Structure 1
Amino acid sequence: MEKPIYLDHAAATPMHPEALQRMLPYMTEQFGNPSSVHSFGRAALAAVTEARESIGAALNVSGRRILFTSGGTESDNLAIFGLAARKEYRGHVITTRTEHHAVLHACERLEQLGTDVTYLPVDATGRLQPEQVRAALRPDTFLITVMLANNETGTLQPIAEIGQIAREAGVPFHVDAVQAFGSQKIDLAKLPVDLLSLSAHKIGGPKGIGALYVGDKIRLQPLLYGGTQERSRRAGTENVPGVVGFGTAAALSAGHLEERRAYLESLRTLMLTELARLLPPDSFAVNGHPSERLPHILNLSFPGHPAETLLMNLDLAGVSAASGSACTSGSLKPSHVLTAMGLPASRVNSAVRFSFAPVTTEEEILRASQIVATFLRRRS
C-alpha cells in the first residue's frame, strides 16, 4: 500500500525532528519552573529566553517584544480584548470580512459588549484596498486588525500600506500572521505593525504554543491573572518544551526562507500544470489573488463536484486536503472567506484547499493530481 499523501499543511505541519529533539530534555531532566530561582529554574528560564530571542530575530525585533501564549487564537484574543478592555469596550474597531474566526468571533463579542465594529469588504481575489481602511476611520477608532495572509486562499493583504494609514491616524494595528510566518518575510523593524500573532504548529513546531509581538508603545489589559509571567501580561507557568520547540522551528524557518519559498512555489505550479494536463479546460478555477499570495496554498474550485464528496473520496484514496467549508456545531456552512469574495455558490461549495510544506515531494504532487483527475473524470 502506498504511503498516504498529506496536503493540509496550512492546518498543521509535522514536527521538525530538530525541534522535537530540542524539546525532549525539557520534558525529562530539565523540568524546572522558569520562575524558580534555583538551578533547575534558571535552566528553564534560559531556554525560554533563548527561544524568545530566536522568534524575535526571525521578525527582526528584540525578543523582549515577544509574549508567549497558547496559540494563534489566544494571541488574537489578547491583542483585541487587551486593547478593548483598556477602552472599557467603548469605541470602534476596523477589520475585514475574511479574517480568521479567532478575530471575527472576538469582534462579534466586542459588539455584544458595546464596541462598534466595521467589517470591510474585499474584492474577488480576497484583497482589501488600503483606502477602505482610511475611509472607515473614526475619531474613536482604537484598533485596526487585518490578517497578513488568508488561511483559506493565501491572499496577502497590503499590510505596509494599511499600517502606514494606522500610524498616521495614531491607531494601533494588529496583524494575524499565523499562516504567513515561515513562508513570508516579516520585518517588524520596517513594517508599521503594533501587534502580530503567531503559532508554532504551522512551521514545524508543536501545537499549543503561540506568540504575540507587542510594540513598545502598546499597553494591554491581561486576559489571565495570577503570576507575573510574560512581564505581567499573561499569567501562568510557561510551556517550556513548547516554547523551545517554537524557537527552534522559527530559527529553522528563518534560516532557509527563500529556499523554502521557491520550493513551495514549484510544488504549487506543478500541481496546477498537472491538473491542467489531465483535465478538460474549465474543469477547475483558482481562488485567491494571482500574484499577491502565499506560495504554499492552492485553493481550487471544481464546479459540479461538492467539496465534501471530493474530500471524502480523496481521503479514501490516501490524499488528505481541506475544504473551503468550515464545520460548526456539526453542520457544514459555506466558507465565509469565499462568500465574502463574492464567488458564485458553484465555486464556494466545490472549493478544496491543498497546502504544502518542505517535506512534500514532487512525486506526491504528481500522484495526488492523478487521483484528483481520476475521480473527477469518473464523476463527469
Structure 2
Amino acid sequence: MVVILTFIHPTVTKSMLALLRCRPYPYVDDVIPIASGESVSLLSPNPMDEMQPRMDLDSRVICRSTEHAPFLWIAVAGLLLWTFGPVICGVAFLWRHRDSLQDHHTRRRVGFLYVGYRKSFHYWDALLAMRRVLVLLIAQQATAQPRQQLLGWTIIAAVCLVLQLTVWPFDRGSMDILNRSEMRGLLVWLVSLFVMQSVVMLPEGTSLVLTIALVLVVILANLVHYIILATQICRYVLLQVSYRYTALGDRTKAIARVMASWVTGPLLSWLINREEEKRRVSPKVFYDWSSAALSADGSPAAAGRCYPSFGRPVHRVVTAMQLTSAAVQDAIEALKLTHVPSDL
C-alpha cells in the first residue's frame, strides 16, 4: 500500500492541481451573429468581461465563481488526502518508530523510505516529496508564464542545493556516491534554469543559432548527468556481484564459477582492483586502541603494516573490513554511544 501511494503521488498531485489551473480568456457569446463578409477574428469581445480567469480544463467555468466551487473543493480535498496526507503519515510513523528503524521487520516494511539516509535524516524523503509538489505547483499555476516558472524553479533549486551542501543527508557509504549524485543533479538543474532564463529573456531578433546552441547546452548537460548516473548504478551493481562472485565458497557452485570465470572473471577482477585503488588513495581515519581516539593521520602501526601480496585474495580483506565497519556502526547506534571505548 505504501509503495502504491509513493508511485501515484506525483500523478494524483498533478491531476488535483490541474483543477485549480486558471488562465485569462476573452469573453465571447455562445451565439455570435456574423454578417456576410465579416471575419471572426475581427469580432470585438465584451469589454466588461474581457480576459476573465477561466478554468484551463473548461473555459466556460469562471474561476472563483459558484460554478468553480465544486472543482475547488475537490482539488483541496484531493491535495490534503493524497498529497499531504501520505507524507504527514509517513513522517509521523518514522518519528514514532525512530528507535527501531534498524529493526529487521521495520526495514522490510518501510525501509525504502529511509534506507540510504543518515540516521538523523530519516525524514528527508518527505522533504524531497514536498520539493516535487512545489515544482508541480509552479508548473500548473504559472501556465503560459515561462519567466515566473523559471524564477520559481530557480529559487527551489538554489534552496535545495544550499540544504544539500549544508547537511549532506545521504549515507556516506560507497565513496559518498549518493550525496555526490544529488549535488551534481541539483547543480545541473540550477545551471539549466539559468541558461533557459537567458533564452527566455533574449531580445527579439536574436540569432536563432544562439538560441539553439543554448538549448543544446542544457540538453547535453542533462544527458551527461543521466549517463553518469546510469554508469554509477551499473558499476555499483557489478561491483556487488563481483564481491559475491569472488566470495563463493559453496562447492556445489564450483562448476558454474569455473565456466563463468572465462567470460566474467577478467571484468570482475578489473572492477575489484579499480575499487581497491580508489580506497587506497582516499582519506582514511585511524583508531588508536591505546587512547581510544580517532585520527586522520597514519599511526605508527599503520605505517609498518604489510599489504597483501600479489595473488592473495584482497577482496576477502576488503569484504571483512566492510562487514566489520558496518557491525561497529550498528553497535554504536544500538548502544547510543557518544564516546567509543578503547576495548570495543
Please indicate the TM-score interval, normalised by the length of the shorter structure.
under 0.3
Q: Which has the larger radius of gyration?
A: 2
Instruction: Identify, as 1 or 2, the structure richer in helix.
Output: 2
Q: What TM-score do you get using the length of structure 1 for normalisation?
A: 0.20
Report the structure, 1 or 2, having the larger strand content.
1
Structure 2-normalised TM-score? 0.22
